[in-house]
Amino acid sequence: MCGTSEELFDFIATGLAKFAEKEAGKFHLPQGRQREIGFTFSFPVKQTSIDSGVLIKWTKGFSVSGTAGKDVVACLNEAMERQGLDMRVSALVNDTVGTLAGARYWDEDVMVAVILGTGTNACYVEQMDAIPKLQGNKSPSGRTIINTEWGAFSKGLPLTEFDRDMDAASINPGEQIYEKTISGMYLGEIVRRVLLKMAEEGALFGNSVPEKLSMPFVLRTPHICAMQQDYSEDLQAVGSTLYDVAGVESSLKARKVVIEVCDTIVKRGGRLAGAGIVSILQKIDEDSNGAIFGKRTVVAMDGGLYEHYTQYRRYVHEAVTELLGTEISKNVVIEHTKDGSGIGAALLASANSKFDHDY
């Protein structure tokens, strides 16, 4: 995450080489045909064609030198050449676009795709007539996909002192604020900062403050997820997690407070994510003169945060229902599409193959 561009893409190409070796001769391409792959790349790029795109900036804690301003497809193709791999990238796909493509392949009612994992993003199907900036040829369907990069939305969000302090200490202060309030990389860190202040000013864990609790990102979202799954009377799993991860000795009373803090931060994150989903649905509905809310509309969802964090998932659904109202929300289906971005990238790579298919 903090190496050089060459190191990162060599790492990816090495993984590809190991994967290809596992086939052990079971898969053979016709003579003269090169293997084509879809490249899911979940960072902001200026995409000039389906198989090229220049990295605008890293997000989600990545700080790889020498990549910004470069074509990431060229970076990967060069790395594959260094590994002796006869492959080329035929489709560069954002993870949200891949998720939408993979889900829509099976279900034409899919109109939105959302990633809620380490980071977050969303895309949706848009009428090309609604995009004044878009010049040139239109697609036969008159529609295209808009990658919103909504994690970068940074204005108008109500922030706490804990959000502001975390942002100031991050590698990209003032950026990705929406992502920093709703995604998996940051929820645990916000909880840690709240608990640290309660320990320092309210003696939450006794008279001393454990040194490990002062370490940024020592408490991660999987930890708070695990604590919220503890339904025992003595909250033993909460106590064990606090001790193992942050060196905290806790009473039952303190553990209950910790659970309440976790729930508060996670509820806010889930509700903000739900609000983002509703805003996209409302935009599509306005552009299509009310054609969305009157029929079944599917939001394809991928990402470990949504998949594994039960309470977070529930808060997302509750917010969507609350904001749309019971009747309209009945038509909105949020479906988990596991590994959707990879499957969608493979489909798009196949669709953009430079070879004729013979199935």
pLDDT tens, residue by residue, 171-202: 889 999 999 999 999 999 999 999 999 999 99
Task: Share the mean pLDDT of the chain.
Answer: 91
Hey, CA dihedral for 144, 149, 154, 159, is it positive or negative?
A: positive
Residue 271, pLDDT above cutoff 80: yes
CB proximity list for 305: less than 8 A, separation 6 or greater: 116, 117, 118, 183, 184, 187, 221, 312
Which of helix, strand or coil describes residue 158? Answer: coil
**Integer Cα distance of 265 and 162 in angstroms:** 11
What is the per-residue pLDDT for 197? 96
Whether the Cβ atoms of residue 100 and residue 122 lie closer than 8 Å to each other: no
95 is catalytic: yes
pLDDT (0 to 100) of residue 358: 60
According to the model, what pLDDT value does residue 24 have?
A: 67
Beta-ladder partners of 298: 110, 333
Catalytic residue among 10, 60, 163, 167: 60
State yes or no: is 60 an active-site residue. Answer: yes
The predicted-structure confidence for 110-158, as pLDDT tens digits, reads as follows 999 999 999 999 999 998 888 888 877 778 888 889 999 999 998 889 9
The structure tokens listed for 25 are 């001769």
Query: Which residue, among 240, 230, 232, 303, has the nearest Cα to 262 in the 3D structure?
Result: 230
pLDDT of 359 > 60? The answer is: no
Catalytic residue among 10, 51, 71, 95: 95
* Range 219-230 average pLDDT: 96
pLDDT at 20 over 90: no
Of 180, 156, 181, 200, nearest in space to 264 by CA: 181
Q: Report how far apart, in Å, the C-alpha atoms of 81 and of each of 55, 73, 75, 88, 349 are.
A: 21, 12, 10, 9, 19
pLDDT at 67: 85
DSSP structure class, residue 35 = E
358 or 209: which leads in pLDDT: 209
Please tell me the pTM assigned to this model: 0.87
Q: Residue 169: what residue type?
A: A
Contact between 53 and 41 (Cβ < 8 Å):
yes
Query: What value, to the nearest 5°, has the Cα angle with vertex 104 and ends 75 and 301?
Result: 75
Q: Which residue has the higher pLDDT, 232 or 356?
A: 232
CA-based diameter of the chain, in Å? 73
